[in-house]
Amino acid sequence: MKTRIFSLLFSVLIAASSSAAELTVHAAASLTDALKEIGAAYEKESRDKVQFNFGASSMLARQIEEGAPADLFFSADEAKMDALEKKNLLLPGTRRSLLSNLLVIVVPADASSAPKSAADLAKPEFKKIALAEPATVPVGIYAREYLQKLGLWDAVKEKIVPTENVRGTLAAVESGNVDTGIVYKTDSLISQKIKIAVEISAAEGPNISYPVAVLKASKQPERATKFAEYLAGPKARSIFAKFGFIVTR
C-alpha cells in the first residue's frame, strides 16, 4: 500500500513539474503581427502558452512598474528598458536588443497629394499629421527627434494629432481623418489602405532598437528565459524579417 501511495505521489509531482506554463509578454504594439505568429509557433513546439499584452512601450513599462503580472518585456526603445533596469525590475543577464526598424511617412491610399520629403510636411496642404504621442511613445519620440534634427519640428508641431500608439496613427491615416502620419515601416506593410510617401533610411533616421528582457517578478523565470532565447533564434528571426523588421542579432 505504501509503495502504491509513493508511486502515485511521485507521478503527481512529475506531472506538475512538466505542466505547461502560461507566459505573459508585454510587447510594443508594432510587434503585434510578428509576435502572434511567433507565439503560435512556440506553443506548438513547447507545452507553454504565451499571452501577449500589446500597447505603447511607455504604457506597458508603467504597468510593469505598478506591479502588473508579466514575465517578459519587449520594448520599442532602449529608454523604457533602461528605466526598468534602473529600478532593478529586470532579471540580470537576460536583456538583449533583437531588432531595428525604419520610419516612413504615409498617406491614405487614395490621397491626391503626398509629401515627397520630410520638409514637405511644413507645407500648408498638410494640415494634420498623425503621430504617436511624441513625448512618451517610442515611435513618436523617434519621429520628433528626426524632425528636430532636420529643423522642422517647430514648423509642424502645431499640426500634430497625437495618438495612443503606432497602430492608432496607422488607423488615423487609413480613415482619412489626417493628411499624413509617421509610422514604422513594418506597420505600413500590413495595411492596404495607406501608401508610403517617404521612406527614411537608416542612415538618415534615428537609431531604432527593440530590446527584450525577462522580468525579475516572473513566477517562471526559466520558462520565460527559454522563450526569450526562442525570440533570438532562427525561426523567430525569419518571421521578424518576413514582417519587415531589421534583425540585428
Alpha carbons 182 and 139: distance in angstroms, whole number: 8
What pLDDT does 16 receive? 41
Residue range 92-121, pLDDT digits in tens? 999 999 999 999 999 999 999 999 999 999
DSSP H helical ranges for the chain: 2-17, 32-45, 57-65, 78-86, 138-149, 153-156, 166-175, 185-188, 221-231, 234-242
Q: What are phi and psi of 188, to 5 degrees?
A: -65, -30
* Residue with the three cell numbers 514637405: 120
Q: Using alpha carbons only, how large is the chain's radius of gyration in Å?
A: 21
What pLDDT does 80 receive? 97
CATH number of the structural domain spanning residue 110: 3.40.190.10
81 and 21 part of one domain? yes
6 and 83 part of one domain? yes
Residue range 190-222, pLDDT digits in tens? 999 999 999 999 999 999 999 999 999 999 999
What pLDDT does 20 receive? 75
The neighbour count for residue 148, using CB atoms within 10 Å, is 13
Length of the chain: 249
Strand partners for 140:
none
10 and 132 part of one domain? no
68 and 132 part of one domain? no
Start-to-end C-alpha separation, the chain: 56
Instruction: Please give the chain's pLDDT, 249 residues, in tens.
Output: 544 544 444 443 344 445 678 999 999 999 999 999 999 999 999 989 999 999 999 999 999 999 999 999 999 999 999 999 999 999 999 999 999 999 999 999 999 999 999 999 999 999 999 999 999 999 999 999 999 999 999 999 999 999 999 999 999 999 999 999 999 999 999 999 999 999 999 999 999 999 999 999 999 999 999 999 999 999 999 999 999 999 997
79 and 66 part of one domain? yes
58 and 127 part of one domain? no
Helix (H) or strand (E) holding 94: none
**Amino acid, res. 130:** A
* Pair 82, 221: CB distance under 8 Å: no
What pLDDT does 76 receive? 98
157 and 40 part of one domain? no
Strand partners for 207:
none
133 and 12 part of one domain? no
Report the number of distinct structural domains present in the chain: 2
Q: What are phi and psi of 165, to 5 degrees?
A: -160, -175
Interstrand relation of 96-100 and 210-214 (parallel, antiparallel or unpaired) = antiparallel
**For 37, which DSSP code?**
H
190 and 224 part of one domain? no
Residue 59's domain comprises: 2-100+209-247
The neighbour count for residue 14, using CB atoms within 10 Å, is 10
94 and 217 part of one domain? yes
52 and 74 part of one domain? yes
8 and 127 part of one domain? no
Q: Is 228 exposed, middle or buried (0-12, 13-18, 19+ CB in 10 A)?
A: buried
